[in-house]
Amino acid sequence: MTAISDVRIRCGHCRAIFACPVAFRDLETLESAVAAGLQATCPSCGQVVNCTMKNMMWRNADGSPGGVSA
Ligand SMILES: [Zn+2]
């Protein structure tokens, strides 16, 4: 497994970045949830965000950023 932490989502509607409501601890679990249609409600604009690997970011175990901010 690839350990990750601090998973965040970038809203495609208002560009706000907010913490993922589900705490993922490894990249494989995150990818599975995204493939299954993970959604989150943006706390800034209230719209439902369809999570993809292109609008999410996280921190890798070594402290480096992963996802869209990388
Ligand atoms: Zn938003």
Over residues 32-58, the pLDDT tens digits come to 999 999 999 999 999 999 999 999 999
CA–CA gap between residue 46 and residue 51 (Å, rounded): 15
CA of 50 to the centre of ligand 1 (A): 11
CA of 47 to the centre of ligand 1 (A): 6
E strand intervals along 1-70: 4-10, 17-19, 39-41, 48-50, 56-60, 65-67
CA of 69 to the centre of ligand 1 (A): 17
Over residues 24-33, the pLDDT tens digits come to 999 999 999 9
3-state secondary structure of 70: coil
Token pair in block for residue 60 = 């890798």
Q: Where are the domains of the chain?
A: 4-60
> The whole model's pTM is what?
0.90
CA of 12 to the centre of ligand 1 (A): 7
